[in-house]
Amino acid sequence: MNFRLSLLPWLALLFATTLCRAEKMIQPLEDQRPLKLPMRVVNFEDGHIQAALPEKGTSLKATIRPEGKTWNCSEKLWLLLDVENRGDEPVLVRAEVSSEKNKGWGTNKGAVVIPAGVTGTLPVLIIRGEVGERTEELKKLFDRMRGYPGGHQQTSWRVINASLLNRVQLQFFTDADAVNCTVSNLRGAVDFYLPAMDELKNNYVPATDKYGQNRQADWKFKIKSDEDFSTAHRAELQWLEKFQTLENRTKYGGWTGDEQFKANGHFQTLEKNGVWYLLDPEGRPFWSFGATGFNLGLGKTKTPGVGNWNPRQSNLKIKFGEEWRDEYPRFVHERLRAWGMNTLGNWSSPDFYSLQKTPYVVAVHFRRPSLHEPDEHAHSSLPDVFHEDYRSAVFNAVEKFPKEAVDPWCIGFFIDNELPFHQPATPATKALLSGVENASRKVFITQLKEKYASIEELNQIWNADFTDWDAVAPVKGKWSEQRHADMLEFSEAWYREYYSICREAMRAGAPDKLYLGSRINHSKNQTALNICSEYADVVSINFYDYTPDCFEPPEGFNAPVIIGEYHFGTVTERGMWGSGLCSGMDIDHVSELFRNYTREAVKNPLIVGSHWFKFSDQPLTGRKDGENYRIGFVDVTDTPYPEMVKACRTVTDEMYPLRKTLEKE
């Protein structure tokens, strides 16, 4: 796109902008007209929740119900609850709000970390999803954009009925032996406001200024001229000089404060005294702490009134000059060293990792035969692992990274991302939904024919009425124990075929690199977790929740785990609208959630790293799939969020000594 031409829409609106209604998101705690919601705490009198934890490392649950049948919060954006921590240790309080007539995942979540002796407020962003007839109007104007002015989140999942809220499920996490908290003052906060279509068209087409920032909002660090980039950059350089060099670290970020193990020049895994570690190429313990998306190509968006463009790239050109493609990656490595991050996470590009300044992981994605996927917008599908071309497709994909395969700075390879492992038997379901020529379906049908002499016998056992073998499909509404066992048997074979081929491809094309699994996001699928652990060097999960303490591995599970994605977003900072998959009130709240989550991950003996999604905010008007979340360490102008940086460095300073305390003598 011609960038000079792209300035025209903003020049035409130069004077109109000053006449528009200024956008200012009200902080939930600043609402002067909260909606009081009468409540009762089940099994705890006067809201005083005091009880011992079932056992060390577990949590305590409590349920809040309406005094009547439901709460009507349809005119509010947030649900707030005050929590007083009367205990001697900090506590993370997690809430899950549900309603009658749920849709999608059917709950909204929130959390707060409360120090001992302090009263805090737990916020939950109410996500309504589609808004009747306006849904199509919004799509016509902004396509699939997720977050809108006023805080509305346009989505078909994580949706509740705000007028029929019926439960708040609380979960308390603490290092203490007991919980001693009082909850009170449940209320709705901030009037729900979705601008009318005329207002959206008049004030938000285009929505951004020439730097990709919300043109209707203002904030402390907003860039208002090209000269501001230089000013901000000089200030950040002075700030970075104040960070002290991390002590007891190798050049890779490993820890020299503990014993050195046998090195092989590449990253390895090690279990020591009941605690899993990565080892860096020098044989030092390494906990992988980083973010995803160090990639110059990210940031593309389609802005109504402007068209397709990449404001992030345009800003980097202004900030770093003609040599920005070389200068920016070098500067980012300086940042990360000061901040304390030691890993470039998934979707990072050679522009950054080829400099060999920070360890990194490789994302392997490729075209391959697939099983049936009815959702045209699905970002992934299950591969047809029994197809004759599948094995060569995986091997060829891994072999496309010959430099990375021998680079000591490369930790390992992820193959695929968030495959739809919704249930243990999902592969069988997908196979039966596929065409009769699908290889995985053929293998499953062959197994069934070997077990059942006729279609009539299958129908009797499966509680079905198929006319022939070609008609066999998933059965709904009629339970059959044996059918479930057959589906699970095939699915387990599918998982083993999938993970074994990936492992073999790694051993052939990148034998010195760790196979980091497939980034499982349905972590309750214990079948997938167990089988992955048999073949992958590290089991990867994308775990979006408020604490990794919610992760429940299968019984007897003992393998290193890496968290490939997690984040907390806001709808109240720097004019951004998208809340992310987990939300906070403001940047102070989010940075504390980030610090606590990462610290709890360090304290888990199985977890060997966590990677925040992602390094930079998504575009205000959304990436290709509509995500426009404020989830970065830097915004669209590459201006950092100081609160996130400080939280990052706090975690880094303590993570290795804290990890050491987990070891059993």
Domains located in the chain, CATH noted: 31-203 (2.60.120), 248-369+397-419+518-660 (3.20.20.80), 426-494 (no CATH)
Q: What is the mean pLDDT of residues 322-351?
A: 97
Q: In percent, how much of the chain has pLDDT > 90? A: 88
Give the model's confidence band at 379: pLDDT under 50 very low, under 70 low, under 90 confident, else very high.
low
Residue 18 scores a pLDDT above 60? no
Q: What length does the chain have?
A: 665
pLDDT confidence of residue 19: 34
Contacts of residue 518, defined as CB under 8 A and 6 or more positions apart, other chains included, come to 414, 415, 416, 417, 419, 498, 499, 502, 532, 536, 540
pLDDT in tens, 293-317: 999 999 999 999 999 999 999 999 9
pLDDT in tens, 201-239: 999 999 999 999 999 999 999 999 999 999 999 999 999
Residue 378 scores a pLDDT above 70? no
Tokens 């050491």 locate to: 660
Query: 523 vs 561, which has greater pLDDT?
Result: 561
3-state SS, residue 564: strand
pLDDT confidence of residue 11: 35
The CB-side HSE value for 345 (13 A sphere, CA atoms) comes to: 25
pLDDT in tens, 33-82: 999 999 999 999 899 999 999 888 899 999 999 999 999 999 999 999 99
Residue 20 scores a pLDDT above 50? no
For the ranges 150-154, 231-235, 280-284, 600-604, the lowest mean pLDDT is seen at: 150-154
Please name which of 86, 323, 276 lies closest in space to residue 182, comparing C-alpha atoms.
Answer: 86
Q: What is the DSSP string of 242-281?
A: TSPPPSSB-TTS-BSSSPPPPP-SS-EEEEETTEEEEE-T
What is the average pLDDT score of the chain?
93
Tokens 């303490």 locate to: 549
pLDDT confidence of residue 447: 97
Q: In percent, how much of the chain has pLDDT > 70? A: 95
What tokens does 528 get?
A: 């997938």
CB 643 within 8 A of CB 574: no
